[in-house]
Structure 1
Amino acid sequence: RDVVAALKIAGVVERIGDYAKSIAKRVPFLENVGKIEPISLLGEMARIATEMVHNVLDAFVERDAEAAVAVCARDDAVDDFYDSIFRTLLTHMMENPQTIGQSAHLLFVAKNLERIGDHATNIAEMVYYAATGEHMADRPGKSPR
């Protein structure tokens, strides 16, 4: 289980790196972003997504199933940030058409952060399986998706 999990996790970590690279490529387009409200939410969203990745990799190293479950629980917060940013940016673009370009870049950054959170959750499910031999959805008290 450990070897298979490690191989799968390596691929997921590579995808997370691709999302991080995509975010970095958009930074130059956001230098003079001004007063677009969701920009303040992106920092907190990025912090949570980054912590999820760090925590899930620590959980893998330590074979800590409970830490993996905790990572999954945080994904809802990242999803909520994305939903809020999406709605706010959509409204902002309709009211300020001159900011559509920068707003679109912000939207892509938010989507990439949301996907990073999703991938951290996928890793957490692999860690849980490697540590316990059970699928996370099968654990007691967990309703199936």
Structure 2
Amino acid sequence: MSRHLERDLQNLERALLTQASVVEGMIRTATRALCERQADLVWEVLQQEQLVNAREVTIEEECLKILALNQPVAIDLRRTAAVLKINGDLERIADLAVNLGERARSLAEQPDFYVSENLEKMANMAVEMVREALDAFVEFDANAAADVCRRDNEVDQLNLQLIEEVHEVMRTRSDLVEAALHFFSATRHIERIADHATNIAEDVIYLVDGEIARHRHEDLRQDSSAG
């Protein structure tokens, strides 16, 4: 591999990690806005989204440039492909953070609705999955990536608990049905963030092992449950 290609790949990976840091901050800000009823924080999330969208395009363009000009093979090809795919997942996570912010605005107008502390717990778990998946990418660690895939089951279980709480509110408080629906939507957005973290982890497994791991996390989740 030429030094020029290695330099381009390193720059590309640094740009991806910078993007990931911004996206993580967006999730945390949106979650805080939701749990603490601080709708004014949503503006911060919207501003960051513009930055993420612009950087997503730049990273994709750089990936395509590397593919066209350097025609990488083997591990270098997998590195480029992994960055391209992870870049897309990060952009979609940012979109979900914006959606969370919108739910925060709606729930801020419903002070009688109790926002379960499990929502923040679930959001923290999803953020940790994103960070750990990116750490696995940096460390070139397929085992750590597989651990992220297993954690998706924990988020799903917590999501089911939150859905039960929402159903109970809707059964007992007809005046809070609209707020409950916004809350349900928020839990769904967080669950999808965890799914994208799993996608990133699967891309890391592909990067390290050269094996496409899509959907294999179902087996990992079952193994974790059996243990």
- Compute the displacement of 1:88 (Å): 1.7
Larger RCO: 1 or 2 (CA < 8 Å, sep 6+): 1
CA distance in structure 1 between the partners assigned to 2:206 and 2:221 by the alignment: 17
Q: Please, what TM-score do these two structures have when normalized by structure 1?
A: 0.88
- Superposition pairs for residues 1-145 of structure 1, below 5 Å? 1-31=78-108, 32-34=110-112, 36=114, 39-136=116-213, 137=216
CA distance in structure 1 between the partners assigned to 2:150 and 2:221 by the alignment: 13
Letter of the 1:52 partner, please give it: M
Letter of the 1:55 partner, please give it: E
Letter of the 1:130 partner, please give it: L
Corresponding pairs, count: 141
2:136 touches 2:142 (CA, 8 Å); kept in 1? yes
- Compute the displacement of 1:95 (Å): 1.2
1:52 touches 1:120 (CA, 8 Å); kept in 2? yes
SS in 1 for 2:211: coil
List alignment gaps of at least 5 residues for structure 2: 1-77, 223-227
Greater gyration radius: 2
- Compute the displacement of 1:62 (Å): 1.8
CA distance in structure 2 between the partners assigned to 1:24 and 1:99 by the alignment: 19
- Compute the displacement of 1:132 (Å): 1.3
- Compute the displacement of 1:34 (Å): 3.6
SS in 2 for 1:134: coil
- Compute the displacement of 1:90 (Å): 1.3
List alignment gaps of at least 5 residues for structure 1: none
RMSD: 2.1
- Relative distance call for 1:16 and 1:142 in structure 2 (3 A) is closer
- Relative distance call for 1:81 and 1:33 in structure 2 (3 A) is farther
CA distance in structure 2 between the partners assigned to 1:63 and 1:34 by the alignment: 47
1:33 touches 1:102 (CA, 8 Å); kept in 2? no
